[in-house]
Structures are given as C-alpha cells and as structure tokens.
Amino acid sequence: MIPLFTLERQNKILEKELNNAIKEVVDSGIFILGPKVAEFEEKFAKYLGVKYAVGVACGTDALSLALLAVGVGSGDEVILPANAYPTVFAVTAIGAVPKLVDIDPSSYNIDPAKIPQAITKKTKAIIPVHLYGQPSDMGEILKIGNKYGIPVVEDCAQAHGAEVGIQNDLVIPTKRSAWRNLSRMRESNSNKLRDPSTEFIPSEAEGLGMTSGQWEKVGGIGDIGCFSFYPTKNLGCFGDGGMVVTNNEDIYKKVRLLRMYGEKTRYNSVLLGRNSRLDELQAAILLVKLKYLGGWNERRRDIARSYELYKSTSCKWPYEAPYAKHVYHLFVIRTEKRDQLKEYLGKKGIQTAIHYPKPIHLQPSFKFLGYKKGDFPEAEKACEEILSLPMFPELTDGEVKRVVEAISQFSAIA
C-alpha cells in the first residue's frame, strides 16, 4: 500500500529526538505558555523572516484572532476563495460574513481579477489561502488591499516555507517593499518547475527591508499570516496547534491579548479575548521538527519533479506560478475521469484523497449565504476533477514511479 500521507516513517527517524523533547517538558512540569512556546515563537518568526509570532491553539483560531486583530467584527464581510473549506469556519466563528470569490483554475487559488467586484462598504479583510502549498498571487492581491485600504490576512496553513518572488511595483503593508513587473513573468508562465535562484534580478527594493530579486516566505507578506500545525501539515505537531505572525507591533500586541482572555497582566483583562494557546508539548515537538522543515520542503519539491519526470498521461499536473515557490503540501492532479481514476488507484494499493470535494457555497451549512450552483464555476469544476496523490517527504522515488505507472495504465484503458 502506498499511503497518501503517513507520519510513521518520519516518527521512526526522529524517535529519539522527539522522545527526549517530550520528556524534557514532562520533567519541567510547565505545560502552558512556558519557555518552549517562547523559543518556538522566536525561531519560527526567524525562519519566516518576520518580527513577531504568537502561538495559538490551532489554525482556525489563528485566522479568527488575526481577523479580530485587524478590526473585523460581527457582520463585517471577509473575502476568501470559494474552495477554502477549512478557512471559512474561522470567519463565521467571529460572526463575520464570508464573501466568496472564484478561483484561478490553474493554481486553485483566489482569482485576484475577481476580487474587486466582491468588495463592498462592509469588506474588512481579504484572505488569500495559499492552497496545497502554492502562494496566492500576492502581488495582485496586495495592490487591491492597498488600493481599497483592506487588510490582507494570509492563510498559510498549507504553505509553511512557501515563497513569493519580490517584485518592484507595489508597496507591501508592513515592509514598504516593492514588486516589479509581474506581467513579464506571467508571460514566461510554464508548467515546469523552476529554479528559483535564477528567476529574479535584484533592484531598487534593496534597502527597503525586502529585496527585489529575492524570495520572501509567506506569512510576512500581507498584514498578518496564519499557520496550522495539524499533524499532516508540512510542519505538524502531535495534536492541534497554530501560529499568528506579523511585522506590525500593534497587531502583534492585540493577538497576544486575544489568545488569553485579553489579559494585560494576570487576571487583569483589558480586551474581550479567549483561551487559545499553543502548549509546551506541541512547541517542543515543533522545535525538533522546524530544523528539518527546509529539507522536507526541498524533498517535496524533488518528489514533484519526479512526478513531473515520469508523467505521461492525459491528467493535468500541478502548475507552479512564476512568482511562487510551491512547497507541495498536497500534490493535486486533475482529470474529468477523477472518480474512476481514484477507484483504479485504490485497487492498485495507492491511496488518494480529494481536497476538497465540495466548494463552500454548496455545503448545506453555508446555504444561508444565499449563493447557488453556478456562482463559482471554476471552483465547482475543480472540486469535481481534482485528486491528491501520495505526497510526504519520506515517499520514495520508486513509489512515485509506481503511482505514475498506474496512472499511465489507467489512461491507456480508460
């Protein structure tokens, strides 16, 4: 059996380190907001190149607290892509109203061209979801955020370590950097995986805190970034966990208050907050794993290259946008014969999944939003055709080859 995802192999490799880390916390007797959380916040912020990080209970809470921190309240509208199934619950959890936008059919991320028509007087935030590990088109999204004065809250739950090429024609909210000539790169759009080191030319953005020609990790590009450490994520813990990151000190201070009853000092609440804390055990596990994240992401990209190398089928393979360094949280292909292919692969002992089978507006619980079938055709079509293939750093090249061979056999007979 080739699993879609498993932690077994990784846990075996890290067994000793993880056991030691867990024992250390147990022996310390400190379980909530102690030194491990503080150390992980510092190291994760450093890894991303952001100033501040706040550990919270899960990715959904990270998004809810981030929205509250940038001023979203009950009845306010929040723009997000129509296929962002997990994200939308963070919006409704704070009484805000999801305003859906269709996706770009190649990247599966929000289509920036369709955002302006969704903006109303009530719009208080835009959430680009870096789905499957590929950054959204942050250049275009930040232009819209800047033009309308709407904060951009990045959902990085599937994109730890994914990067965006810094360009020169746009002001980034907190770093005042600039982006350059994105259209030039769109022209060079191809279905190939690129070598990021050869793509960009340094320019005047240097000295502004970001350097054009370099790559910036997602999370610190918008006003605020949100991560999940759910066990299957590129960086995952052994339970639930999340993180909010930002370069804005005011936002940082507000999230710190919000995660623990709004307390400025113990039992002195100055803001209506909640209890949403990352715990010491999870932070200790994440500290062990963070050291390997870069290597794991490179391995995921290698696996994507292997898939690419072997592919010889009629399926549509994932596309990496020219401005993006994809970290392949999921390797999602697309075919009109998706259900038959899924069944065929299952019979061959290859596990697959669908992320996600139904867009938000067709979920019974979101009927109240008043959307109908046909409102977001690209998202609807994608949900019918997408299929996630096995993808995790310990997957072997031999297993990748077997998956692609099985897909080729299917293509020959279907």
- For ligand PLP, the binding residues (CB under 6 A) are 58-60, 86-87, 129, 155, 157-158, 228, 230, 240, 242
Distance CA 324, CA 410 (A): 31
Could you tell me the smallest distance in angstroms from the CB atom of residue 385 to ligand PLP?
19
Name the CA dihedral angle for 316, 164, 238, 232, rounded to a multiple of 10 degrees.
0
Of 326, 305, 334, give the one whose Cα is nearest residue 401. Answer: 305
Exposure class string for 261-284: b at 16+ Cβ within 10 A, else e: bbeeeeeeeeeebbebbbbbbbbb
Cβ-Cβ contacts under 8 Å for 110 (sequence gap 6 or more) = 79, 80, 81, 101, 103, 104, 128, 129, 136, 137, 141
Q: Of 86 and 105, which has the nearer Cβ to ligand PLP?
A: 86
How many Å apart are CA 359 and CA 382, to the nearest integer? 9
We find the least distance from the C-beta atom of residue 110 to ligand PLP, in angstroms, to be 12
Nearer to ligand PLP, 226 or 406 (CB): 226
CB of 336 to ligand PLP, least distance (A): 25
Closer CB to ligand PLP, 139 or 225, in the complex? 225
CB of 94 to ligand PLP, least distance (A): 14
- What is the residue-wise DSSP string for 138-184? HHHHHHHHHHHT--BEEE-TT-TT-EEE--SSS--TTT------HHH
Q: What is the nearest approach in angstroms of ligand PLP to the Cβ of residue 155?
A: 5
**Which residue has the closest beta carbon to ligand PLP?**
59
Nearer to ligand PLP, 136 or 168 (CB): 136
**Contact partners, residue 327, CB within 8 Å, separation at least 6:** 133, 134, 159, 160, 161, 162, 234, 297, 300, 301
Q: Closer CB to ligand PLP, residue 58 or residue 162?
A: 58
- Decide whether 212 or 276 has the Cβ nearer to ligand PLP: 276
349 CB neighbour count, 10 Å cutoff: 11
Q: How far is the CB of 383 from ligand PLP (least distance, A)?
A: 15
Q: Which is nearer to ligand PLP, 142 or 153 (by Cβ)? A: 153
Residue partners of 333: CB distance under 8 A and separation at least 6: 315, 316, 317, 318, 386, 387, 389, 407
Indicate the residue among 30 and 94 with the shorter CB distance to ligand PLP.
94
Q: DSSP string spanning 23-67?
A: HHHHHHT--BSSHHHHHHHHHHHHHHT-SEEEEES-HHHHHHHHH
The minimum distance between CB 77 and ligand PLP, in angstroms, equals: 19
Strand partners, 269: 263
Write out the two tokens for 24.
Answer: 């250390």
Residue 44: CB minimum distance to ligand PLP, A = 15
Name the minimum Å distance from CB 83 to ligand PLP: 10
Cβ-based nearer residue to ligand PLP, 58 or 166: 58
